[in-house]
Chains A and B, each alone.
Chain A
Amino acid sequence: MSTDVNVKMDALAGVDPNALPLQVKNLHVEFRTRNGIAHAVNGVSFDLRAGETRAILGESGCGKSVTAQAIMGILDTPPGFITGGEILYRGVDLLKLPESERRKVRANRIAMIFQDALSALNPVFTVGFQLAELFRKHRGMSRKDAKARAIELLDLVKIPAASQRVNDYPHQFSGGMRQRVMIAMALALDPEVLIADEPTTALDVTVQAQIMALLAELQRERNMGLVLITHDMGVVADVADQISVMYAGRVIEEAGVNDIYASPAHPYTKGLLESIPRLDLKGHELSAIKGLPPMLTNIPPGCAFNPRCRYAQEVCRQDPAPPLYQVSPSRTAACHFWKEVKGDE
């Protein structure tokens, strides 16, 4: 049996190697709860190229994790239902695949890391066993080869003394090391796309810096696409190529990283950037966005941001919601007054 990790045992029909590794088109997800229908994702679209980092930025509850769960096929159903859209892996719509085919994509081609590593790792098995299982199941490796690969991987994510630590249980690792183990598991089968949902939020800044550096290095080596879900504007500025800003289940602005920071075209993005403490604001009031994000069971008509927006006019309070206007050939913003916001007018 081959031990080459790049040999994918499970062929997937219809894959077009020239198509993008990931395209999300007009995704809709709702949660049917006792208190009504929560519209968690309302038409999210984005593309991800090989080797590219796309950040998904937004406040708590805006639908970032649900989007990721829908892509991975791990949505909590019920109450969660995908009610529309497409999720394309190299041209194949994952939403149309039976679960048996879907499983071939998970971990193999699109893998995910979570905020909370401890809950993603199984506490009763050693770290080495959990890694080795991946190779045994998906690559048909022998026990011995699989363990050797597990050690290599732990080494790759810079766990010191990997050949000894491979026999440890997750609780014997520090938070930062557990996050490395989870990265190792996600990268084990050499996926083309990695979705990282707040991978460093629970970690200290010095550990966060280590983990982000490690992710960047591995991404470069493998030309992997990375979807980075975060609310940290500093991390985004540091690593992202493209940014999708979400609000109440929609992408409300999409642009390259430099454009977003230099001239945000949506009032929400602008408000977020202005609420970060900056050196020149010392001794001054921060410009906070007033009010709160809406309940997803009761999203206001028109632009969902209108009750908090300082640019809002009558048109903003009326359906339909503002479409994603083309701000430039490479960027869009869902605000009727994007020119004013951006300072073009």
Chain B
Amino acid sequence: MSDVVLETRDLVKHFPLTRGIVFKKQYGAVQAVDGVNLQLRRGETLGIVGESGCGKSTLARMLVGLETPTSGDLFVQGRNMSKVGAEERRRGRRNIQLVMQDPYTSLNPRMTVGDIIGEPFEVHPDVVPKGKRRAKVQELLDLVGLNPDHINRYPHQFSGGQRQRIGIARALALNPEIILCDEPVSALDVSIQAQVINLLEKLQAELGLSYIFIAHDLSVVRHIADRVAVMYLGKIIEIGTEDEIYDKPTHPYTQALLSAVPVPDPKLRGQRDQIVLTGDVPSPANPPSGCRFRTRCWKAQDICAEQEPLLVVRDKSDHPSACHFAEVRDVVHATE
């Protein structure tokens, strides 16, 4: 069996823009995700970073089946999810679970924690027999560091960090191999973030999970990820190991993004090679021709408007980068 547990090929999601109420007429589309190819290997953590609106959540929602791709293929354990029968698709889906950003709104306030965590068993009754479910839920509570006796409490009786643990317990209920975390710690305070990150790493080691970890905090992603994909306007523009992306970024956007992150060390003040981008992110309904980053890029030439740069390894980049002029630039001067 292959090492790749999840793979996408040219995955696309366009949201139609329509006018009119009775006779809806499409006049365009938001190109939320536009041709994404990625592979997730067993036991690894793939980080996905990029600015608001670049398509991270839409991609995640397609991977867990909450959104139907406009085109492209999704392979789970080598099986093409759009080609298999309903039963196999259901089993494939069971294997991928989502942990969402907002611990305040993602849990139903009228359900007890026990019911929330046990809810997936209603859809997949074969995973744990009915009589053993309560015990299983308590085991899950214990696993994520919550008191198993609190099984009958309601979400509002828990803090943000604890609610995120409930979300993680629920995601683990069906013994998935793949967990997708969409901004799992963004809503939490720094001191609580660390608790949740430690928990995720512990669970990965104990259960052999593979993670896709979406976050806008680049230092959190660096801490947890083995490989990192950088997205811009619906496309992956650079992908590589954590070292390659952070120490040897080659796409101008990745470089700008990394250089914008303030370093928590006042001794390095003013020493950062800060690239301040001008202009706003273009609308995903009307992305620029060629390279989508060219309107904000200081290296752009004519070719950038004419030809879309492919996500490939180039002369001056040892990992895939979608820039015609990909070249290493050291932007983060580490403290070591």
| Interface residues of A, Cβ cutoff 8 Å to B | 59-60, 160, 174-177, 204-210, 212-213, 231-238, 240, 257-258, 261, 271-273, 275-282, 285-290, 292-293
**Distance between A111 CB and nearest chain B CB, rounded to angstroms:** 24
Count contacts between A and B, CB distance < 8 Å. Answer: 117
Contact assessment for B276 and A234 in the assembled complex, using a CB-CB cutoff below 8 Å: no
With A59-B189, A271-B191, A275-B191 as given contacts, are A282 and B266 in contact (CB-CB < 8 Å)? no
Contact assessment for A281 and B223 in the assembled complex, using a CB-CB cutoff below 8 Å: yes
Across-interface contacts of B266 in A (CB, < 8 A): 237-238, 240, 257-258, 261
Contact assessment for A205 and B261 in the assembled complex, using a CB-CB cutoff below 8 Å: yes
Taking residues whose C-beta sits less than 8 angstroms from the other chain, chain B's interface range is: 35 or more
Show 25 A/B contacts (Cβ-Cβ < 8 Å), sorted by A.
A59-B190, A205-B51, A205-B218, A206-B51, A206-B256, A206-B277, A209-B259, A209-B260, A233-B264, A237-B264, A238-B266, A240-B266, A261-B266, A261-B267, A277-B220, A278-B219, A279-B222, A285-B201, A286-B194, A286-B197, A286-B198, A288-B191, A288-B195, A292-B159, A292-B161
Contact assessment for A238 and B263 in the assembled complex, using a CB-CB cutoff below 8 Å: yes
Contact assessment for B335 and A278 in the assembled complex, using a CB-CB cutoff below 8 Å: yes
Contact assessment for B220 and A285 in the assembled complex, using a CB-CB cutoff below 8 Å: no
Contact assessment for B223 and A285 in the assembled complex, using a CB-CB cutoff below 8 Å: no
Contact assessment for A59 and B263 in the assembled complex, using a CB-CB cutoff below 8 Å: no
Across-interface contacts of B80 in A (CB, < 8 A): none
Across-interface contacts of B223 in A (CB, < 8 A): 277, 281-282, 286
Contact of A232 (CB < 8 Å), options: B192, B256, B260, B262: B262
Residue in chain A with minimal CB distance to B279: A160
Where chain B touches its partner, the secondary structure class is helix
Contact assessment for A205 and B257 in the assembled complex, using a CB-CB cutoff below 8 Å: yes
Contact of A234 (CB < 8 Å), options: B51, B222, B261, B277: B261
Please give me the 4 A-B residue pairs with the lowest Cβ-Cβ distance, nearest first.
A234-B262, A277-B223, A288-B194, A275-B194
Contact assessment for A237 and B262 in the assembled complex, using a CB-CB cutoff below 8 Å: yes
**Is B334 in the interface zone, CB < 8 Å from A?**
yes
Residue in chain B with minimal CB distance to A286: B194
Across-interface contacts of A238 in B (CB, < 8 A): 262-263, 266, 269
Across-interface contacts of A292 in B (CB, < 8 A): 159, 161, 192
Residue in chain A with minimal CB distance to B199: A288
A205 to B50, CA, bound (A): 10
Contact assessment for B191 and A289 in the assembled complex, using a CB-CB cutoff below 8 Å: yes
Binary interface encoding of chain B residues 244-266 relative to chain A, with 1 for a CB under 8 A from any of its CBs, else 0: 00000000000011011111111
**Distance between B210 CB and nearest chain A CB, rounded to angstroms:** 17
Contact assessment for A288 and B198 in the assembled complex, using a CB-CB cutoff below 8 Å: yes
Across-interface contacts of B268 in A (CB, < 8 A): 237
**Is B193 in the interface zone, CB < 8 Å from A?**
yes
**Is B126 in the interface zone, CB < 8 Å from A?**
no
A233 to B219, CA, bound (A): 12
Contact of A273 (CB < 8 Å), options: B159, B222, B264: B264
A160 to B280, CA, bound (A): 10
Across-interface contacts of B274 in A (CB, < 8 A): 209
